[in-house]
């Protein structure tokens, strides 16, 4: 039979082993432990094997890896009063575990809420065309705003990407009509520019032909050569008197 002293001794051994096991903690390479001593901040430890004195010290684990967080779809009204739905994704990580635990209650929830309000605030300052065509600029603006505000929490926002800008059907049709009108305008401008350049070239050619009669005669002969290459068996063409006089000066007609 095991007496009372044996039970007591066995209990002490088990308690000692439990305290010994809880004293040693292992932190991975991407983890840090924020240590509190009697409720006051003591230091940040890790990675590797660390010692935490039970009851006197408490540890909070902090993950230093980059967090990929989806920003839920937000209703945004652009500067030109167009309502759109926008969602995004942000990339951030903890660079100061002490601030991330002490300065904010839940840094993940706080960053998520802040990203939603910042997304609406920044995009509301831009027009719809800018949202659709200048994604890189808007991403940088949102990232800079978030990074400044989360710096006090020991968080670094490394990147922000707008994923979708959803429009209603009426706005999509309006944009399609606008794009079609723009294409027609460009086609008309290109056509008019071509007509203008062609008119300039014809004017230059007429001035050259007027100054050089031989050039006009050569052009006339080239035209006849081109006509003679056709499949027609009969060719009727006028023969200028000036051309005959040039070719046969000794037989000028009166």
d(CA 39, CA 34): 11
**What are the pLDDT digits (tens) for 144-160?**
999 999 999 999 999 99
Domains in the chain (CATH in brackets) are: 4-63 (no CATH), 67-167 (3.30.479.30), 175-225+232-251 (no CATH)
Q: Which pairs from 144-150 meet CB under 8 Å and 24+ separation?
A: 145/118, 145/121, 146/90, 146/92, 146/111, 146/114, 146/115, 146/118, 149/114, 149/118, 150/92, 150/111, 150/114
Please tell me the least confidently modeled range out of 13-17, 102-106, 225-229, 240-244: 240-244
**What are the pLDDT digits (tens) for 168-181?**
776 666 666 766 77
**What are the pLDDT digits (tens) for 53-99?**
888 999 999 999 999 999 999 999 888 888 899 999 999 999 999 99
């Amino acid at each position: 039979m095991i007496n009372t002293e044996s039970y007591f001794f066995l209990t002490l051994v088990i308690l000692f082993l439990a305290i010994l096991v809880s004293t040693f903690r292992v932190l991975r390479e991407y983890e840090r432990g924020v240590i509190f001593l009697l409720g006051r901040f003591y230091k940040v430890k890790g990675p590797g094997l660390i010692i935490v004195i039970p009851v006197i010290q408490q540890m909070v684990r902090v993950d230093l890896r980059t967090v990929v967080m989806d920003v839920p779809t937000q209703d945004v009204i652009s500067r030109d009063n167009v309502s759109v739905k926008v969602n995004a994704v942000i990339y951030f990580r903890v660079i100061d575990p002490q601030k991330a635990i002490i300065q904010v209650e839940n840094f993940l929830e706080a960053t998520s809420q802040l990203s939603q309000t910042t997304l609406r605030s920044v995009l509301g300052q831009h027009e719809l065309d800018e949202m659709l065509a200048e994604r890189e600029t808007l991403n940088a603006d949102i990232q800079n705003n978030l990074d400044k505000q989360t710096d006090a929490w020991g968080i670094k926002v490394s990147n922000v990407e707008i994923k979708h800008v959803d429009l209603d059907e009426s706005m999509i049709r309006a944009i399609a009509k606008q794009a079609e009108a723009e294409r027609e305008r460009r086609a008309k401008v290109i056509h008019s520019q071509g007509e203008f350049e062609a008119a300039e070239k014809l004017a230059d050619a007429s001035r050259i032909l007027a100054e050089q009669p031989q050039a006009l005669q050569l052009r006339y002969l080239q035209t006849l050569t081109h006509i003679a290459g056709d499949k027609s068996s009969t060719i009727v063409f006028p023969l200028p008197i000036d051309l005959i006089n040039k070719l046969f000066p000794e037989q000028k007609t009166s």
